[in-house]
């Protein structure tokens, strides 16, 4: 009786617990489905449905001729899920798969057999095989034995990543940039595009299926940036600089090639030596960011200031006093022992006499040094150029009001000591002189494009201001031409090709140890009608091999100028429109046509028979319509390069 009662009590207790549990479950179901339905629905949606960001395609970067400088390409990391593959498929394909992997990635087939077997034994579901695989190789891998069965049966795992590549390799790498550096950083707001958004549904572990969603946002691809760089000129500048750095075992150097009239930067090379390998690579953007003492290239600025203030004439004579002049406790010396005797200021510029320049500046500005410095300021030498590319170095011109202005500051300033300017800032001044005194802002970009559609055009040159009178510019142009003909840069003189410029040599880090130099040359070509202005700066060459600007830097300028001229000759303008004596002029005309026989001349205004004779002499055939003088020419416009033999159609009145 007692046992039956106990069993019954236990039954009631158990039943009560079941009722309570059922009530609790019922309450929770009511709470979840009714009271907190929205909350749990949202949680389920987050687990099953998710918004994925769709990255846009980053815009390309091109040179001025639409050659790719930077583009985005897909790269793949290849892995293997050793567990999902069946025993039969694994055994049948192990050897042939290992052989194909060996052919593509190196190592022996046995290496891959061992690696795959080990992964199979340990149930490795994420075995690494290769990375940075390009698309064409990825497509081949998909056809490998076993992998051809697909992701599940074949165990192939391919993870895509979009990577940025520079088709030119290491050339101009620093200027093209990465992240917030170079063109990539400066024009990121154009290149990056806008992200999109897409809803996906989870269908299996790690697998998501895209859904058709009215709220889907398509990504907007980035714009393309067309730079002013010319891949051919960039290649010329890069290798000319590299060769000289290696010959003179220099620490680093830079070259900038600028189109004189437009300010377009056609090449910018920055090479520094690796501390470990000793090889040179695009280490830092020295031309833009690194201020340095310009040395004798600053004599152009000093003389420009004196000419503008009308305190000196190039015919004024100065006594170099045996090549040494003492100012307070320091001595200015000429590179030539014994000096140059008594020479004119024009000669002093050509031979780069420090003593003569210090005399010129001290004699005329000692009582009012601020007048000299203010003139330099008025020419814009204390201002940054203002690039979109980050990191431009700040120029430094000492002023008499500065605490560190000493009695020797003025004479040393005359030949570029105590000054800090970047290579680009120095180039900008020289370009203004080549441009008859008008400064044109250097620029790196021609256009922003959305594929074939023009978004923004930067083609028009930006004239900042006149830094000096045209008269002063003409005087300085003549002096720079003579510096190449018979001055410090005479080693690069060529009677068939005119160049103008100024050498520079200055000590650097002299507070650490002697024997460290900066060698430079800045100039333009052709001298009579400047097309390109070029800056070459080489830091810390081995002094045992040479350190003067004429020896180290000027030959780089010469190589660049000659190769550019050879590839794209700068022709004289050929026109008969304003000629008063045709019979004498035609001889000259024919000479020019022979000299530039790859360039189509302007025939407008020429008697038809003379035009036909000239063209046939150039190896071209002619089709005529009319008699008398040429009024128009078709097929090849004047000034255009003749790349193939084709008939020239002349319209004659």
Give the tens place of pLDDT for each residue, 398-430: 999 999 899 999 999 999 999 999 999 999 999
Predicted local distance difference test score (pLDDT) of residue 16? 74
Q: Read off the pLDDT of residues 297-312 as tens digits, 9 standing for 90 and up.
A: 999 999 999 999 999 9
Q: Which of 11-15, 161-165, 311-315 has the lowest mean pLDDT?
A: 11-15
- Helices 582-595 and 608-617, axial angle in degrees (round to 10): 20
Residue 588 DSSP one-character state: H
For the entire predicted model, the pTM comes to 0.75
Closest residue by Cα to residue 400 from 418, 416, 388, 385: 418
Beta strands in 242-314 (DSSP E): 252-259, 265-273, 280-281
- Helices 231-248 and 554-567, axial angle in degrees (round to 10): 150
Q: Read off the pLDDT of residues 443-491 as tens digits, 9 standing for 90 and up.
A: 999 999 998 889 999 888 777 789 999 999 999 999 999 999 999 999 9
Mean pLDDT, rounded, of the chain: 85
Gap between the Cα atoms of 528 and 13, Å rounded: 113
CB 80 within 8 A of CB 157: yes
Closest residue by Cα to residue 231 from 208, 257, 206, 251: 257
Average pLDDT over residues 570-590: 43
Gap between the Cα atoms of 515 and 502, Å rounded: 22
For the cut 70, the answer to whether the pLDDT of residue 431 exceeds it is yes
Gap between the Cα atoms of 485 and 501, Å rounded: 10
Q: Read off the pLDDT of residues 117-154 as tens digits, 9 standing for 90 and up.
A: 999 999 898 899 999 998 889 999 999 999 999 888 89
CA 481 vs. chain centroid, Å, equals: 29
Average pLDDT over residues 25-35: 69
Q: Read off the pLDDT of residues 514-555 as tens digits, 9 standing for 90 and up.
A: 889 999 999 999 998 899 999 999 999 999 999 999 999 999
Predicted local distance difference test score (pLDDT) of residue 586? 45
Q: Which of 319-323, 597-601, 630-634 has the lowest mean pLDDT?
A: 597-601
Q: Read off the pLDDT of residues 152-190 as tens digits, 9 standing for 90 and up.
A: 889 898 888 888 888 888 888 888 888 888 899 999 999
Among residues of the chain, what percentage have pLDDT more than 70? 82
CB 406 within 8 A of CB 462: no
Residue 633 phi, psi (nearest 5): -130, 145
DSSP β-bridge partners for residue 507? 517
Gap between the Cα atoms of 302 and 522, Å rounded: 15
Residue 348's pLDDT band (cuts 50, 70, 90) = very high
Q: Which helix (H) or strand (E) holds 604?
A: none
DSSP 95-135: HHHHHHHHHHH-S-HHHHHHHHHHHHHTT-SSEEEEEEE-H
For the cut 50, the answer to whether the pLDDT of residue 584 exceeds it is no
* The three-state (H, E, C) secondary structure of 307-372, written as one string: HHCCCCCCCCEEECHHHEEEECCEEEECCCCCCCCEEEHHHHHHHCCHHHHHHHHHHHHCCCHHHH
């Amino acid at each position: 009786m007692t046992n039956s009662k106990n069993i019954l009590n236990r039954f009631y207790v158990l039943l009560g617990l079941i009722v309570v549990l059922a009530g609790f479950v019922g309450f929770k179901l009511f709470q979840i489905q009714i009271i907190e339905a929205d909350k749990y629905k949202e949680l389920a949606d987050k687990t099953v449905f998710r918004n994925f960001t769709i990255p846009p395609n980053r815009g390309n970067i091109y040179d001025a001729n639409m050659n790719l400088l930077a583009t985005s390409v897909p790269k793949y990391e290849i892995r293997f899920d050793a567990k999902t593959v069946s025993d039969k498929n694994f055994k049948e394909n192990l050897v042939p798969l290992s052989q194909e992997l060996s052919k593509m990635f190196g190592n022996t087939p046995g290496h891959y057999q061992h690696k795959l077997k080990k992964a199979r034994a340990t149930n490795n579901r994420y075995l690494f095989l290769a990375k940075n695989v390009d698309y064409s190789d990825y497509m081949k891998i998909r056809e490998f034995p076993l992998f051809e069965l697909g992701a599940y049966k074949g165990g192939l795992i391919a993870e895509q990543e979009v990577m940025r590549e520079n088709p030119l390799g290491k050339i101009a790498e620093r200027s093209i940039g990465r992240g917030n550096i170079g063109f990539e950083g400066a024009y990121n707001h154009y290149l990056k595009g806008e992200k999109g958004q897409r809803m996906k549904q989870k269908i299996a572990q790690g697998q998501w299926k895209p859904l058709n969603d009215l709220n889907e946002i398509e990504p907007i691809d980035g714009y393309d940036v067309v730079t002013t760089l010319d891949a051919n000129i960039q290649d010329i500048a890069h290798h000319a600089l590299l060769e000289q750095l290696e010959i003179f075992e220099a620490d680093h150097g830079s070259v900038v090639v600028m189109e004189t009239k437009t300010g377009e930067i056609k090449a910018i090379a920055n090479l520094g030596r690796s501390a470990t390998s000793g090889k040179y690579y695009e280490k830092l953007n020295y031309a833009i960011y690194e201020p340095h003492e310009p040395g004798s290239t600053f004599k152009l600025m000093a003389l420009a200031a004196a000419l503008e203030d009308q305190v000196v004439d190039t015919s004024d004579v100065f006594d170099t006093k045996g090549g040494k002049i003492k100012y307070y406790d320091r001595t200015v010396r000429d590179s030539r022992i014994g000096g140059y005797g008594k020479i004119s200021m024009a000669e002093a510029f050509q031979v780069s006499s420090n003593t003569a320049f210090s005399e010129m500046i001290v004699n005329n500005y000692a009582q009012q040094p601020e007048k000299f410095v203010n003139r330099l300021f008025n020419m814009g030498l204390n201002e940054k150029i203002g690039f979109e590319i980050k990191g431009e170095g700040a120029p430094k011109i000492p002023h008499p009001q500065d605490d560190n202005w000493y009695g020797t500051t003025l004479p040393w300033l005359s030949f570029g000591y105590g000054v800090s300017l970047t290579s680009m800032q120095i180039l900008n001044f020289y370009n203004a002189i080549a441009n008859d005194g008008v400064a044109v802002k250097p620029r790196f970009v021609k256009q922003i494009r959305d594929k074939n559609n023009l978004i923004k055009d930067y083609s028009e040159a930006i004239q900042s201001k006149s830094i000096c009178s045209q008269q002063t510019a003409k005087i300085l142009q003549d002096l720079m031409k003579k510096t190449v003909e018979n001055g410090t840069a005479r080693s690069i003189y060529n009677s068939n090709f005119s160049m103008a410029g100024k050498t520079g040599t200055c000590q650097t880090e002299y507070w650490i140890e002697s024997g460290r130099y900066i060698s430079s040359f800045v100039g333009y070509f052709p001298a009579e009608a400047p097309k390109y202005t070029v800056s070459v700066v080489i830091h810390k060459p081995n002094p045992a091999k040479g350190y003067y600007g004429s020896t180290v830097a000027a030959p780089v300028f010469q190589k660049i100028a000659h190769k550019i001229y050879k590839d794209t000759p700068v022709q004289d303008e050929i026109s008969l429109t304003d000629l008063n004596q045709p019979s004498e002029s035609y001889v000259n005309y024919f000479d020019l046509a022979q000299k530039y026989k790859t360039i189509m001349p302007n025939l407008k205004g020429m008697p038809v028979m003379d035009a036909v004779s000239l063209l046939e002499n150039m190896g071209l055939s002619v089709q005529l319509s009319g008699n008398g003088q040429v009024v128009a020419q078709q097929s090849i416009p004047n000034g255009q390069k003749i790349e193939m033999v084709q008939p020239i159609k002349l319209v004659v009145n």
